[in-house]
Structure 1
Amino acid sequence: MTLTQLEIFALVAEMQGFTAAAARLGISQSGVSHAVRELERELGVELLRRQQGRAELTDIGRQLLPRASGMLGLAEAMRQEAADARGLRRGTLRIGSFGPTSSMRLLPGLLARYREQYPGIEVHIDEGTDSQVLQWLLERRVDVGFAVLPEPRFASCPLVEDQMVAVLPAGHALAGRPNLTLGELCGEPFALTGAGSAELVTRLFQAARLQPNIRYRCGQLLSTLETVARGEAVTVVAELSLPLRPYVTGYVSKPLHPAVLRQVGLVMLDEEQASPAARAFLQMAGRLRREGGLEGMLAERGRLD
């Protein structure tokens, strides 16, 4: 069993195809297939099922993939430990990001500062929902991720705090109110977005023993806002997730009463076992927060947008 075989297995599983994995790696498809076959032969099990041009994990393949990812992560950490001794000139940082709060507000400024300090580090970014980011961390697909805190399973670094807001059509009867309760929203058609803080919104209603009248489930925030702007529904989102630039108009946002705060930060499985590149990113973000640099960075993003 070699690290190359494990890397190819993990990439084929991620891209769900031998051809796509071969193109990413810059090698032949037969080379990719041979590596996977040799790994399966050594383990004595079928890891990937080939059908209709796609590759799907078998049950045992799905069980062993996190093990392979963990071994690859440890190997990368060893490489980066060596690079750290040379001044962290090389390495890879894999970041999981969710929603506009992290992908559009926080990440651009953090990456700009990180690249200034560590220009040789290669950065990979995966974007998904908040729950997907946490799963990627557990699978070691990413080294560090943005999350809604607290997350007791992970080492964390708080970054920003905002509030949850109700979003209504501009002409709605409740649009003139200074704030709104969750109960007042239950009588309206509700749009639940799958992005960002969907799980937090669901927990808010459950904690209040309320049931929103969910008529729409939207995969992205902008499609949710468009649904609201058309007058078809109301929703609840985090204030920092709302776009500063008016991609969608025709809606207004109102704070919830009582106020509901949300804290967003960075999380990783174990800071002591993390790669030097990941630790450096977490520590840099923590310094920025302590020194007040994050507020200036968010204000700068507001001016740019």
Structure 2
Amino acid sequence: MTLTQLEIFSLVAELQGFTSAAHRLGISQSAVSHAIKALEQELGIDLFRRHQSQVELSDIGQQLLLRARAMLGLANTLQQEAADARGMKRGTLRIGSFGPTSSNRLLPPILERFRLAYPGIEVHIDEGPDRQVLQWLDERRIDVGFVVLEQERFDTFALFEDQLVALLPADHPLASHPAIGLEALCDDPFILTEAGSSELVTRLFHSARLSPKVRFRCAQLLSTLEAVCRGDGVSLVAQASLPQVADTRYVQRPLAPAVARTIGLAVLDRRQASPATLAFVQLAQSVHNRSS
């Protein structure tokens, strides 16, 4: 069993295909098939169920995938520690990000400084909903992820705090109010953005024993903004996720009482984090502290 075989196994599982994995790795499909077959023969089990165009993990394959990713993570940490002794001239860093707040506002200045300080570190960024970033951390598909705090099962580092704001069409009767109570948002059709802070919004209404009239579930914030601008309903989003350029078709109002949201970085275990991961966290905190 080799690390290369485990890497191929992990990628085939992620992409659900031998051809896709081969393209990602820049090798032939036959090389991927040979690596998986050799690994299955050595272990004496079938790791995948084969279909016409896709493959899916067998039950034991799902169990072993977590072990394989743990081994790959430790191997990467070992390589990073060796690279750290050489001035961190080589290595890989995998970052998980979600939505406009982290991808557009927090990540770019951190990434700019990181690339200047460590040009030899190859950075990979995957974007998805915040709950998916947490899943990627659990599965060791990423080294560090932007998350909404608190997250007790991870080691976390706070970076930034903003607040939830109500989004209303510009001509809405509540648009003239300086702040909006949560209960007032239950009178109109409600637009829920599935990405970003949707779980926080859902918990907020549930804790207040309120039931918004959810009529729209939007995958992207831009869809939510357009629906609000059309007058289809009202919404509740994180202020930092909104575009910097104001749109006169909608207004944002703070909640009364205010509801804060803290964004930070999370790692599975800081004691096993690679030097590149820890360097990224340190730079992120430096950028945040400087801008606060």
Q: Which runs of 5+ in 2 are unaligned?
A: none
Partner of 1:271: 270
Q: Deviations over 1:27-80 (max 9, x none)?
A: 111110111111122222221222121122222222221111111111111111
Partner of 1:143: 143
SS in 2 for 1:175: helix
Q: Deviations over 1:154-178 (max 9, x none)?
A: 1111111111001011111111111
Q: Deviations over 1:74-100 (max 9, x none)?
A: 111111110000011111110000111
1:16 aligns with 2:32: no
Give the distance between the partners of 1:105 and 1:39, measured in 2 at CA.
43
Q: Deviations over 1:164-220 (max 9, x none)?
A: 001011111111111111100011101111111110000000110111111011111
Q: Deviations over 1:254-287 (max 9, x none)?
A: 1001000111111111112101100111112223
Partner of 2:250: 251
SS in 1 for 2:252: strand
1:293 aligns with 2:287: no
| Aligned 1:64-83 pairs, distance under 5 A | 64-83=64-83
CA contact under 8 A between 2:189 and 2:232: conserved in structure 1? yes
Identity between Structure 1 and Structure 2 (%): 64
Give the distance between the partners of 2:58 and 2:224, measured in 1 at CA.
36
Matching residue's letter, 1:293:
R
SS in 2 for 1:279: helix
Partner of 1:210: 210
Partner of 1:125: 125
Partner of 2:225: 225
Partner of 1:192: 192
1:249 Cα deviation after fit: 5.5
CA contact under 8 A between 1:197 and 1:238: conserved in structure 2? yes
Give the distance between the partners of 1:140 and 1:288, measured in 2 at CA.
26
Partner of 1:302: none
Give the distance between the partners of 1:60 and 1:269, measured in 2 at CA.
23
CA contact under 8 A between 1:159 and 1:294: conserved in structure 2? no
Give the distance between the partners of 2:139 and 2:69, measured in 1 at CA.
7
Matching residue's letter, 1:42:
E
| Aligned 1:37-186 pairs, distance under 5 A | 37-186=37-186
SS in 1 for 2:174: coil
SS in 1 for 2:27: coil
Partner of 1:261: 260
Give the distance between the partners of 2:23 and 2:124, measured in 1 at CA.
17
Matching residue's letter, 1:238:
A
SS in 1 for 2:175: coil
CA contact under 8 A between 2:109 and 2:287: conserved in structure 1? no
1:245 Cα deviation after fit: 3.3
Matching residue's letter, 2:126:
D
Give the distance between the partners of 2:56 and 2:179, measured in 1 at CA.
49
Deviates further, 165-174 or 42-51 = 42-51
SS in 2 for 1:214: strand
Matching residue's letter, 1:53:
S
Q: Normalising by structure 2, what TM-score?
A: 0.97
Give the distance between the partners of 1:122 and 1:97, measured in 2 at CA.
16
1:288 Cα deviation after fit: 2.9
SS in 1 for 2:173: coil
